[in-house]
Structure 1
Amino acid sequence: MIDLSKEDIARFISTEKTGLIYFYTPICGTCQMASKMLEVVAQLTPTIKIGKADLNYMPELAKQFEVISVPCLLIIKDGVIVEKVFAFHSVLFLQDKVNQHLL
């Protein structure tokens, strides 16, 4: 996963158009577990772009994307957010979401 700035996120959505953006906060224990799950998903699907952003530095993006809690995963296809995932149940659950929307 690559770290994204606000500008990177805008560019990611407009140019990459398809991929995952993961919002987290560093002190969130659930976010730390979710990060590990996403690392596995990244290894299983190396063709899918995955970026991450610390919402502590981007509160306006939380409002813009209606992120109500962290962790939050935006699944983006063709420049459109097709799903927001707030509950990261398991690696298999996340992989199924990726397969459902992006593969």
Structure 2
Amino acid sequence: MNEVKPEQWQQFLTMDGVQFIYFYTPMCGTCQLASKMLEVVNETISSLQINKCNLNYFPAIAAEYEIESVPCLTIWEDSQIVEKIYAFKSVTYVYDIVNSYL
């Protein structure tokens, strides 16, 4: 997964197609588990690119896009959020959701 820096955020607002952006905080234990699950999914689907954002550096983005808690995987189509996933039930569950957008 690629870490997004605050100065890179604007480029995501202009991208076309499907984007996956994972919001987390480093001290969150659930986020650490979700990160491992996403890494498995990311390695399983060769064409997949998941970007991640440390929410501590993106408070305005969290407010603007109503990110209610972490971990949160957001799925974007043409620069708009189409789905937010807060419950990472299993690797298979996350894989199926991500794969349905590809």
TM-score (norm 1): 0.90
Runs of 4 or more above 4 Å deviation: none
Is the helix fraction higher in 1 or 2?
A: 1
Aligned residues: CA RMSD: 1.4
Distance of aligned partners of 1:36 and 1:23 in 2 relative to their CA distance in 1, 3 Å threshold:
same
Give me the identity figure in percent: 48
Does the CA contact (< 8 Å) of 2:15 and 2:78 recur in 1? Answer: no
- Indicate the residue corresponding to 1:30 in structure 2: 30
Distance of aligned partners of 1:91 and 1:22 in 2 relative to their CA distance in 1, 3 Å threshold:
same
Does the CA contact (< 8 Å) of 1:13 and 1:76 recur in 2? Answer: no
Does the CA contact (< 8 Å) of 2:16 and 2:77 recur in 1? Answer: no
Unaligned 5+ segments in structure 1 are none
TM-score (norm 2): 0.90
**Which piece of structure 1 moves more, 4-13 or 89-98?**
4-13
Aligned length: 102
CA distance in 2, matches of 1:13, 1:50: 15
CA distance in 1, matches of 2:78, 2:49: 13
Following superposition of structure 1 onto structure 2, how do residues 22-101 of structure 1 map, counting pairs within 5 Å?
Answer: 22-100=22-100
CA distance in 2, matches of 1:82, 1:24: 19
